[in-house]
Structure 1
Amino acid sequence: MKKNQQNSKLSSIQKLAQSINDRLKSKLSRRVVLCVFTSIIVIEAILLIPSLKRREKELLSQIKQMSSGKVAWILITYPNASHTELVNHLSELMQHHPTILGGAVYDTNKQKVGTFGESPELSLSEVNNSKKLFFSTSSNVYRYDDLIWYGKDMQTDYSIIIRHDCSNLKPELLAYISRIIGLVIIISLFLTITVWLCLEPIIINPILLLRSDLNQAGEAIYNDREPPAFSSISLQREDELGEVINAFELMFMKISEAISERKKAEAALQESLEKVKTYSQALNYELEQGHQMQKNFLPAQISQQNGWEIASFFQPARQVAGDFYDVFELSNHTVGLVIADVCDKGVGAALFMSLFRSLIRVFSGQNYFEEMNEDLGSEKDKLYLDRGLATEDCYHALKAVCLTNNYIAKNHGEVGMFATLFFGVLDINNGKITYINGGHEPLFIISATGEIKEELNSTGPAVGMLPDMKFKIEQTHLEVGEILLGYTDGVPEARNGKGEFFTNEKLRLLVEKKAASAEGLLKEISTSVLNHTGSATQFDDITLLAVQRQV
C-alpha cells in the first residue's frame, strides 16, 4: 500500500517536472513570464523609493522631537539664563543622551553666541527659517544637523541648532528595505507562477498546434500534396486565437486553389514570355537601328573654323533622344549653330528631332523665299528685323525658323509636337552672332575672365506650336577669348538618387569658373552633372554646345 502511494507521488512529481520542462522550452512562455516578473519588480521598485524617503523622514523626525523636548525643558526651567549658562546646561544633555553630539546657540540677531560638543556645519543663516536638513559623513559615522529651537517662533532670545548621531539610522533603513524587498519577491513569484501556469492551456498549446499545422501545410504545398487534417481546427476557440486558426485554414484553402490556377496559367505564361522575348529582341534591334540612324543626324565631327573652337557634349536618356545640336556652314563665311529640345521622350521625339534638324538645314540654305509655296505664308511679316543688325544672308538663313514652325504646325499640329530651339548665324570674320531663340533655355556669353557677360534669352515662342508665330531676330558679338554656351533643360534638371536637381545655380557656378577652352568648359560641366546623377536613372537628354573665339 505504502509502495503504491510512493509510486503515485513519484509519478506526480515526474509529471510536474515534465510540465515545467515543457514550459521552459517555450520561448513565448519565457518571454511573457519574464515581462510579468520584470513589470512587477519595476512597479514595486518605483513605489519603494518614496516609501523609503517617508521612513527616513519619520526616523529623523523622532530624533528631532526627542531633542526638541530636552531643549524645551532647559529653556522653560532656566528662562533667564545667560548664553554661557544656557550653553553649559545644553552640554549636560550629551552626557545623558548619546544621540546629541553638540550644538550651537544664536541670539536674536542670528549671531552665534556659543557652541558645545561637536559644532554643527549647518548655520542659522543657511536654515533661513525653513528648517533644512544637513548630513555629513566621517569614518562611516552619520551626523544630522537641524534647527531644534527657533527663537522668533517660540518668542525667546535664542535659536538652537543641535548635531545628532544618526548612525543607527542606516541599519534601520536597511532592515526596512529588506522587509520590502522580501515582500516584493514573494508577490512577484506568486503572480509570475500563476500567469505561467495559466499560459499553457490558454495560449501555448494552441500556438504549438498551429505551428505544427503550419509546418504540415508548408510541406504539403512544397511537395504538391493534398492538404492534411489540421489539429488546431478541433480546438473550436471563440476568441482572437480561434479567429487566427480559422483564418489560417481559409488561407490554406485559397492558396491551394491559387496553386491549381497557377499551374493552368504557367503553360500559357511561358508561351507568352517566349513571344514577349521575341518581340523585345525585335524592338531592341529596331531601337538600336534608330539610335544609329539618329547618330547620323548629329555632326560626326564638328568642322573647326580658323580662329574658333567649337565643342559639344551629348548623352541621351534613352536609346533614342529628342535633343539635338547642329553646326553647319552657310554662305559668306558664316556658320549655323543650332541647339534644340523636342518635347516628350522616346521614339516620337526622336522622329520629330530628325524632322526639325532636316527642315532647319534645308530652309536655312535657301535664298529664294519669295518663290516658295504660299502655304508657308509670308514669313517676312513673322520676323522683327532691324536691317542694321542682320545682313541679308543672316535674315534669309534665320527665316528657316518661321518656315519650320509653319510646316510643323500645319502638317503635324494634331500630334502636338514642338521644340525649343536656338538658331544662331556666326560670322567667323568679326564674331557677330545673329540669332533667334525660340523658347529655349538662355545661352550664356562668358567673358575671358569667367564672368557671364550676357544671356541670350527667348526672342519668340517654341517652334511648331501654332502657325504664323512671330520670331524676333537679335544680335550679339563675341570678343577674343569669350565663349558662347548653349544647353538643354536636361542639365539643370538632372536628378540624383534622392530626386535632387542639379539646378541652374550650380550650372552658373561652374560657368563662372575661368575656362581655358570650350572643350574644357564642357568637360567640367558634364563631369559635374554625371557625378551628381551617379547611378540614378536619367530622365532627360543632356546636351551642351560651346563656341570660343580664339583670335
Structure 2
Amino acid sequence: MLKGLFSLPTARLSRRIVFWVFVSVVVIEAIILIPSYNRREQELLSQLREVSSAKISVIMQMTGAEASALELLDQMRQLKLDPIILGGALHHSDGKKVGMFGEQPELSFSEGNSGSAIYLQSQNSFRYDAAWSAAELQRDYTLILRHDGSPVMLELHAFVLRIAGLVLIISLFVTAGAWIALRPIVVAPIIRLRNDLTSAGEAISKDRETPEFSSASIQRQDELGEVIAAFNHMYQQISDAIGERKKAEEALQTSLSQVKSYSQALKDELEKGREMQTNFLPGQLLHKPGWEIVAYFKPAHQVAGDFYDVFELPGGYVGLVIADVCDKGVGAALFMALFRSLIRIFSGQTSSDGLVCSYSQASANALSLASDGQVAESSHLDALKAVGLTNNYIAQNHGELAMFATLFFGVLDPSTGLLSYISGGHEPLLIVDSSGGVRERLNPTGPAVGITPDTEFKIEQTRLEPGDILLGYTDGVLEALAAGGEFFTRKRLLSMLEQSTSSATLLLDQIVASVLSHIGEADQHDDITLLAVRRDPKTDGGTKRVKTQA
C-alpha cells in the first residue's frame, strides 16, 4: 500500500488528475466564498449601525421635543466621543443643513432620506456613512453619521483567512483522497494494460506464443473495463488473423514450390523442344559446286514456328524451303516439324495414304517449257506436288486446329540455274542482281498452305543468272520492332539491296546486323529467318554456311 502510495507522484496521469481535482475544489470554494463574504460584510455593517442607533436613541430621549435644531446638533456632537463615529451632519426635513461635526459624510441628504448607506474604502482608511430619517428620529430632522470601518475590514480579513484555511484543508483532504484512490482504481490497471500492450506488440512482431496478460484478471463494469475487454478481443482477432495468414502462406509456399517445379519441368521440356527443333534444321547446308547457300535463324522464344530447309532431290536437284507457321510457341513448333517432314517426304513421291495432289493442266504445260525453250524435267513437277499433298494432309487431318503456314518451296537445277517454285502466301522472295538492286520478285502463287483441301497452287519458273542472289525471309524481318514501336519495314530491307555484293554471306550478315541493331534492347516479338542462295559467276566451286542463333 505504502509502496503504491509513494509511486503515485511518478505517475503523470495521477499528477494531472490530482492537480485538476485540487483546482476544482479551490474554484468551487472560491465561488461559495464570494456571497459568504458579502453576507458577512452586511452583517458587520448592520451591527455597526445598530450600535449607533442605540446611542442616537439615548440622545433623543435626553433632548426634549421642544429643543431647537442647534441644541439637537450640540447633543449629537457627543456621539463623536465614540471612536467609531468620526462625524456627522444634521438636516431639516426639507433638506436644509442645520450643521455638521467631525468629518463630513459623503452621503447626501437625498440619498440618506431614501434609506441608502455607502461604504467607502481608500488606500489607508475605511469609512461607512449611514442615515437616520425623520421617522426613525421621531423628529423633523435627518441625521447622517460617518463611521470608522476599520474594525469591519479587520473582521472581514479574519473571516476570509478562516474560510481560506478551511478551503485549503478541505482541498488537501479531497486531493489526497483522490490521489490515494487513483492507484488501485485507475493508475494500476492502466499500467498493467500498458505492459500488456507492449508484450502483445513484441509477441506479434517476433511471432511468439500469446503471453499471459495481467490485465485479463481485472473485472470491472466501467469504461476502463470495456477498454481492457476490447484489447483482449482485439488481440485475439489479430492472433486468429495471423494464424490464418500463416496457413495461407504455407499453402502459398506449397503452391509456389509446385509452380516452380512445374515451371522448371516445363522449361526443361521447352529446352528439349528447342534442341529438337534446332536438330530439325539443317546442321550443315547442302554444298553444290558454283553455289553459295547460307541461312540465319533466331527464334523469338525457346521454340519457333519459322523454318528453312535445303535438301537434295533425285536427279541432283536442290529443294529450297522457307516457311512461317501461324501463331507462336509449342503449337507452332510442332506444326513446323510436321510441315518440314511432309515437304521432305512428299517431295520424293506423288501420293501417300490415298492423298492425291492435282495441278491444273495450264500449270503443267507452263512448267514443261522454260523461258528459253528448254524442256524442264518432270521431277520438278513431281517434287513440287509435295506442297499440294502437304496442304491436303494438314487441312483434312488437322483442319479443326486452324493451323497453316506461309511457305515457299523451290526446286533448283544447279547446272542451269533453273528454279521452279510454289509460294503459298509467303513474303515475296527477291532475286538480287550482281550489280545491285532487285531484279525480280517471286510473288505468291497461291494461298497459305493448310487452310482448305484441294487448293490449287500455281507453279512458276525463273532462272538465277551467274552472280544473282535469291533472298528469302519471313515477316519477322520486316516486322522487327524497335523500342519505340517502329517496324524495320520492307523499304529499309530493299534499300540494303541497292548496293552490289559479291557474297551471300556478306549480304546476310549486313541484313542481320541491321535488324538486330533496329531491335536494340527491345523484346523480339517474332522469329527471324533468312535464306540466301547465290550463283557464283565462276563455275569452279562454291561455299556453304548455316548460322542458327537460338
Aligned residue for 2:530, secondary structure, equals strand
Aligned residue for 1:365, secondary structure, equals coil
Q: Which amino acid aligns with 2:344?
A: R
Q: Which amino acid aligns with 2:535?
A: R
Rounded Cα–Cα distance in structure 1 between residues aligned with 2:411 and 2:284: 19
Q: Deviation per CA, 1:45-102: give whole Å up to 9, x if none.
A: xxxxxxxxxxxxxxxxxxxxxxxxxxxxxxxxxxxxxxxxxxxxxxxxxxxxxxxxxx
Query: Contact conserved, 2:359 with 2:456, CA < 8 A, in 1?
Result: no
**1:424-463 correspondence to structure 2 within 5 Å:** 424-463=410-449
Offset of 1:257 from its aligned partner? 9.0
| Runs of 5+ unmatched residues, structure 1 | 1-216, 227-253
What RMSD, in angstroms, separates the aligned Cα atoms of the two structures?
Answer: 3.0
Rounded Cα–Cα distance in structure 2 between residues aligned with 1:380 and 1:305: 30
2:369 is equivalent to residue 388 of structure 1: yes
Classify 1:280/1:447 alpha carbon distance in 2 versus 1 (closer, same or farther; 3 Å). Answer: same
Query: Contact conserved, 1:313 with 1:545, CA < 8 A, in 2?
Result: yes
Q: Which amino acid aligns with 2:406?
A: T
2:295 is equivalent to residue 312 of structure 1: yes
2:356 is equivalent to residue 377 of structure 1: yes
TM-score (norm 1): 0.53
Query: Contact conserved, 2:357 with 2:388, CA < 8 A, in 1?
Result: no
Offset of 1:286 from its aligned partner? 1.0
Q: Which amino acid aligns with 2:268?
A: Y
Q: 1:476 aligns with which of 462, 465, 485?
A: 462
Q: Which amino acid aligns with 2:264?
A: Q
Classify 1:547/1:264 alpha carbon distance in 2 versus 1 (closer, same or farther; 3 Å). Answer: same
Query: Contact conserved, 2:319 with 2:410, CA < 8 A, in 1?
Result: yes
**1:215-234 correspondence to structure 2 within 5 Å:** none
Task: Determine which structure has more spread, i.e. the larger CA radius of gyration.
Answer: 2
Offset of 1:431 from its aligned partner? 0.7
Aligned residue for 1:379, secondary structure, equals coil
Query: Contact conserved, 2:307 with 2:322, CA < 8 A, in 1?
Result: yes
Q: Which has the higher contact order (CA 8 A, sep 6+)?
A: 2
Rounded Cα–Cα distance in structure 2 between residues aligned with 1:444 and 1:218: 75
Q: Deviation per CA, 1:375-429: give whole Å up to 9, x if none.
A: 4235234983312144311000000000000000001111111000000011101
Offset of 1:282 from its aligned partner? 1.2
Rounded Cα–Cα distance in structure 2 between residues aligned with 1:512 and 1:218: 76
Classify 1:258/1:496 alpha carbon distance in 2 versus 1 (closer, same or farther; 3 Å). Answer: farther
Q: 1:329 aligns with which of 303, 312, 332?
A: 312
**1:255-266 correspondence to structure 2 within 5 Å:** 261-266=244-249
2:465 is equivalent to residue 486 of structure 1: no
**1:52-91 correspondence to structure 2 within 5 Å:** none
Counterpart of 1:514? 500
Classify 1:259/1:505 alpha carbon distance in 2 versus 1 (closer, same or farther; 3 Å). Answer: farther
**1:151-162 correspondence to structure 2 within 5 Å:** none
Classify 1:289/1:261 alpha carbon distance in 2 versus 1 (closer, same or farther; 3 Å). Answer: same
Query: Contact conserved, 1:383 with 1:473, CA < 8 A, in 2?
Result: no
Aligned residue for 1:338, secondary structure, equals strand
Classify 1:516/1:478 alpha carbon distance in 2 versus 1 (closer, same or farther; 3 Å). Answer: same
Q: Which amino acid aligns with 2:513?
A: T
Q: 2:326 aligns with which of 337, 343, 360?
A: 343
Aligned residue for 1:266, secondary structure, equals helix
Classify 1:523/1:264 alpha carbon distance in 2 versus 1 (closer, same or farther; 3 Å). Answer: same
Query: Contact conserved, 1:384 with 1:470, CA < 8 A, in 2?
Result: no
Aligned residue for 1:280, secondary structure, equals helix
Rounded Cα–Cα distance in structure 1 between residues aligned with 2:472 and 2:270: 28
Identity level (%):
62
Query: Contact conserved, 2:363 with 2:458, CA < 8 A, in 1?
Result: yes
Query: Contact conserved, 1:383 with 1:471, CA < 8 A, in 2?
Result: no
Query: Contact conserved, 2:357 with 2:385, CA < 8 A, in 1?
Result: no
Rounded Cα–Cα distance in structure 2 between residues aligned with 1:468 and 1:383: 16
Q: Which amino acid aligns with 2:508?
A: L
Rounded Cα–Cα distance in structure 2 between residues aligned with 1:480 and 1:219: 86
Classify 1:457/1:263 alpha carbon distance in 2 versus 1 (closer, same or farther; 3 Å). Answer: same
Query: Contact conserved, 2:425 with 2:448, CA < 8 A, in 1?
Result: yes
**1:51-450 correspondence to structure 2 within 5 Å:** 261-366=244-349, 369=351, 373=353, 375-381=354-360, 384-385=363-364, 386=366, 387-389=368-370, 390-450=376-436
Query: Contact conserved, 1:333 with 1:429, CA < 8 A, in 2?
Result: no
Offset of 1:318 from its aligned partner? 0.9
Aligned residue for 1:341, secondary structure, equals strand
Aligned residue for 2:359, secondary structure, equals helix
Q: Deviation per CA, 1:252-296: give whole Å up to 9, x if none.
A: xx9999766533311001111111111112111111111111111
